[in-house]
Amino acid sequence: MGSAFARRDGGHRGATEGPTDSAGGSGVAGGSAYVAVVNDASDSRKAAATNANSNNLITGSSAVFTAETPQAIERARDPEYFVDLKANRTSVSLFPATVWGRYMREALSFPSDNLLRSIPFNGLPELRRAIASYLRRTRGMDVSPDCIIIGAGSEYLYGRLLQMLGPTTTFAMENPGYRKFAAISKAFGNPWRPVPIDESGLLVDELEESGADVVHVSPANHFPTGIVMPIKRRLELFEWANRARKRYIIEDDYDSEFRYSGRLIMPLFADDASDKVIYLNAFSKTMVPSLRISYMVLPPKLLARYVDTMSFYSCTVSSFEQYALARFIDEGHLERHINRTRNFYRRQREAALREIAQSPLAEISHVEERNAGTHFLLYVRTSLTHDQVRQRGAEQGLNISLFNDYLLRDGDGLSERTTKRFEKYSNGETALVLNYAGIEPDRLPETVRRLACVFPECQQGD
């Protein structure tokens, strides 16, 4: 249970910056995309006006329902599995639904004027105050509620950042890492670069060579390796950011609450003296995935820029849910829930490791885990290809994700340095990313039994 890369050698403030892009001098960031939408709508209206013989208003090709539409919708649905081992699943049985329901009923039964009016663009003041207080208590962050932006999911907030910073801003991401953020960057037209990691996290010299302006990192718990960025590497990252005015660090603190030994890792934001860190977090993992409430904390310089260019967007989270969450945090329920959940995941992790050690998998695999997060890596010596592992897993009712699923591709193809670095470490073994958080305890033994059935090498040892 060593370092993810230990065998390579053998064995988390100036003048306001202006808008990045504008539409007709309006100062709206990402204005070119906005103009394109307006032009599309205008073209659609012209097309509809010229089609005098039609009784239907044609609003654009995207509204046309074709024969392929049902199949496309069906492909997008998640299939049912006996157990989903992918790393974005959580246990929903621990959520205090009764307490949450009480605060939702309170919001709906006695709505104040604040809850019935339009919500401020950055979210309900009560929730922003609650989050600021929570961050001060638990993360050592001295944050003004005015600097907090509430949104429906991290993807939404990330999209707002992309639009504010503009299409000429190049983003860098840890490789391996979350593919979704790379996909969002590509969808917005922003150039992006995958940057390799080592046993200390993101390689800052490679980041410098990438030519990126903004970097997305998870220093407290890198996904999927679980690497914690040490102080020396954090200082190097700050030095990189301070070398150019337009450079920023997006600190994704997702999942950092779940450490099972040692002290919680303080965020980069708490040590930022130059207004270079944008802090991003969500409640979907600490509470339930269906609660699409995320938030980001902007440094003062960027906050002024965000207000100037992005405040025309309405807040995307219901005022009633925001009120309920504010009450939930203020009354101490969030911290109590996190403590309960952390203890449950610790026991679940220990049980999963014990089941694997007592199964045929023990003869052909080894586990790498770092006492944090809700998953670990299982390296298996097998002749199966990655596609075969996924297919045989599905036949056993298991949704399996592999380490290679999180290797990022850019316009030049897969990052060769990351691939070679990983292959040298893994010695040709297949690395599975096993999430234990979403497994019901009574299904854990059967899950491990089915996982062993995926690999023919386990049967050969019987």
Tell how strand 430-435 and strand 375-380 pair up.
Answer: antiparallel
Tokens describing residue 208: 């410098």
Q: How far apart are the C-alpha atoms of 293 and 290, rounded to whole Å?
A: 9
375 pLDDT higher than 50: yes
Percent of the chain with pLDDT over 70: 78
Q: What is the pLDDT of residue 409?
A: 75
Q: What is the pLDDT of residue 65?
A: 64
Q: What is the pLDDT of residue 340?
A: 93
418 pLDDT higher than 50: yes
Residues whose CB is less than 8 angstroms from the CB of residue 364 and which lie 6 or more positions away in sequence, other chains included: 380, 381, 382, 455, 457, 458, 461
Q: How far apart are the C-alpha atoms of 279 and 266, rounded to whole Å?
A: 12
SS3 of residue 217 by DSSP: strand
pLDDT in tens, 331-348: 999 999 999 999 999 999
Q: What is the pLDDT of residue 426?
A: 58
223 pLDDT higher than 70: yes
Average pLDDT, rounded, for the chain: 82
Q: Indicate the pLDDT class of residue 75, thresholds 50, 70 and 90.
A: low
Tokens describing residue 184: 């969002």
| pTM score of the predicted model | 0.80
Q: What is the pLDDT of residue 410?
A: 65
Q: How far apart are the C-alpha atoms of 354 and 338, rounded to whole Å?
A: 24
Please spell the DSSP secondary structure of 347-392, one letter per residue: HHHHHHHHHHHTSGGGGTEEEE--SBSSEEEEEE--S--HHHHHHH
3-class secondary structure per residue, 48-106: HHHCCCCCCCCCCHHHCCCCCHHHHHHHHCCCCCCEECCCCCCCCCCCCHHHHHHHHHH
Q: What is the pLDDT of residue 33?
A: 36
Give kind and range of the element (H or E) at residue 413: strand 413-414
Q: Indicate the pLDDT class of residue 36, thresholds 50, 70 and 90.
A: very low
Helices (H) and strands (E) in the chain, counts: 16, 16
Q: What is the pLDDT of residue 48?
A: 39
Residues 230 and 199: beta-carbon distance below 8 Å: no
168 pLDDT higher than 50: yes
Residues 411 and 184: beta-carbon distance below 8 Å: no
86 pLDDT higher than 90: no
Tell how strand 201-202 and strand 192-198 pair up.
Answer: antiparallel
- State whether the Cα torsion 112-117-118-122 is positive or negative: negative
Long-range interactions of 184-189: CB distance < 8 A, separation 24+: 184/155, 184/158, 184/159, 188/30, 188/33, 188/159, 188/162, 188/163, 189/33
pLDDT in tens, 293-306: 999 999 998 999 99
Q: What is the pLDDT of residue 384?
A: 95
The pLDDT of 388-404, averaged and rounded, is 95
SS3 of residue 249 by DSSP: strand
Q: How far apart are the C-alpha atoms of 142 and 132, rounded to whole Å?
A: 8
DSSP state of 39: H
